[in-house]
Structure 1
Amino acid sequence: MAKKEKEIEEYITHLYVHVNEIEHFVLFSGISVQQFIRHFSDLSALLLLKHRYEEASFNIHTQLEFVVNDEFNRFLKDFTERSTALCFLDFTDERKLNMLSPQEQAELLYIAHKKETLRLPFYHHLQNRFVYLTDESQEITKIYFRDTEDFNHLVASVFNQYINEKAKTTAFWRKKNNIILPELTTEKVETYADYYEDGVLMSLFKMGKTNYGIEIRSLPENIFPDEVLGDLKLHLEKSADFIIEL
């Protein structure tokens, strides 16, 4: 008997990933700023290049605003209540902002306006690990990563967050809360690195009572990243190229 194809409703979530290794950025669809900051919750501060958050602190040297770690939750709550286009990067200490040259400040403004860079956007004084850009709908998010490992950890974290949330709503897990949840490791994410450069759809589903799977499908080069999740039915008609079992 032929294996029954899954319906869209049987999937928990989908994530589109397209890696540009040369320019150190990744295009995502299906990721939220809440998930991103939840994963990078240990960051000291965020320099806001484009936003509408009214409670941010102000740096006189750069004439830019920022939020420190203690304000992350308030910042996310504000964004949830009124989504806006966002552009920010991390930094360690406000004193480092005062060391940015006029050229570097101009580059930051260019990034916020054009959503692209004049050069790799990683600054010696700031020691930033990423630059995050998204529109108010979050249909497409562009993230520059200094280190590929941060990308691998983020993808694993996003799927593990969904698995944890699914477990909380399942009576089976509530009765047996000593059971260890399945987890996507960064090693498994890295295994398929060669395919991310062409753009892939990663689809999480539940395989049984205690295990999950992630289907990976390579997508055509001529697609528009912000339309991938709107065309799920079309993409899911294609058989998965690989399945990661968790």
Structure 2
Amino acid sequence: MSVNVVYVHLETVSNLILSYGISLQDFAGALQRVPHHLLLLTPVDLDDDVDPHTGFNVISGAPAIAAYFTDPHLTTHKWIDFAHELYLDQVTPNEVAQLLYLGHAYIHLESPFYYKLQNDYVYLDLPDGTVKTYYRHLPQFYAVLNRSLKRHLQEKYPDMRFLFRRRSMIQDIDPVILQQLQPLFIDGALFSFEDIDSRQKEIHIPILSLNSRFKLVNDDWHSADQERVAELIYDHGIKKWRLNVINEAAFANQGLL
């Protein structure tokens, strides 16, 4: 799958993000504090560290976690972070069953945030190429989205490196701008870098509202039930981002605009 889009669907009750185009590297690189302990929800590998109480593989320490995040041989990442190794002994059999179900069915039975684990995240690669991530603190997602959108813009213009000599030259998107898009995320929104438009010193990234769940088939995401409702615009002359709303009704339906 090589289509150049970023898809975001938000479920506000559990702070669940279903996404496409946001990489694990986008996620890890945007966090102010990377987790120090991971409980893997993938099938157990007896050759690696196994927690004797829960039966899951565990990874601890910044170097080991960085290696796990960047291992090119791993195609599937499924994990939940936890704060202290001592607390793993307090996880109940019922909670172990919930974690097994979460890793197997990609659905939380109860809250995905456990008191004993004190986790901030759950990360699940799905078989269809999308990713489910749970954020205890939803504003952290917007930092991840910012990093992903900037990366896609950088990769879209390999022949325009005079504009973006360094990735840091692309300014961060104001979190307020991204948070204004939350009404679209609730129904599902897609940033199309394939239909990007460059006008003088401005780059216009279309934002589409989808009326059904995003599906990618044979590197094709186009469907009839999509509508361009806004544009994310980067002015590389003054190095600032702004949002251009095309269809205010798409925002007003959620009562936030």
Partner of 1:7: none
Q: Which residue, out of 47, 53, 57, partners 2:49?
A: 57
Question: Contact 1:56–1:65 (CA<8 Å) still a contact in 2?
Answer: yes
CA distance in 1, matches of 2:201, 2:171: 7
Deviation at 1:52, TM superposition (A): 7.0
1:243 aligns with 2:231: yes
After superposition, where does 1:98-177 map in structure 2 within 5 Å?
98-135=89-126, 139-163=129-153, 170-173=160-163
| Richer in helix (by share) | 1
Question: Contact 1:216–1:240 (CA<8 Å) still a contact in 2?
Answer: yes
User: Compared with structure 1, are the counterparts of its residues 50 and 180 closer, same or farther at alpha carbon in structure 2 (3 Å cutoff)?
Assistant: same
Deviation at 1:93, TM superposition (A): 2.1
Q: Which residue, out of 14, 22, 26, partners 1:23?
A: 14
- Report Cα offsets for 1:17-53 as digits up to 9, x if no partner: 1111123312112222232233336221221011577
Partner of 1:5: none
How many residues align? The count is: 229
Question: For residue 97 of structure 1, what is the amino acid of its counterpart?
Answer: L
Partner of 1:71: 64
Q: CA RMSD in A?
A: 3.2
Question: For residue 104 of structure 1, what is the amino acid of its counterpart?
Answer: E
CA distance in 2, matches of 1:27, 1:238: 17
Gaps of 5+ in 2: 234-240, 242-257
User: Compared with structure 1, are the counterparts of its residues 177 and 159 closer, same or farther at alpha carbon in structure 2 (3 Å cutoff)?
Assistant: closer
Partner of 1:207: 198
Deviation at 1:189, TM superposition (A): 0.9
Question: Contact 2:208–2:230 (CA<8 Å) still a contact in 1?
Answer: yes
- Report Cα offsets for 1:52-75 as digits up to 9, x if no partner: 777743211211112222112321
Question: For residue 61 of structure 1, what is the amino acid of its counterpart?
Answer: H
User: Compared with structure 1, are the counterparts of its residues 233 and 103 closer, same or farther at alpha carbon in structure 2 (3 Å cutoff)?
Assistant: closer
Question: For residue 79 of structure 2, what is the amino acid of its counterpart?
Answer: F
- Report Cα offsets for 1:165-186 as digits up to 9, x if no partner: 5688744157x66984232232
What percent identity do the matched residue pairs reach?
24
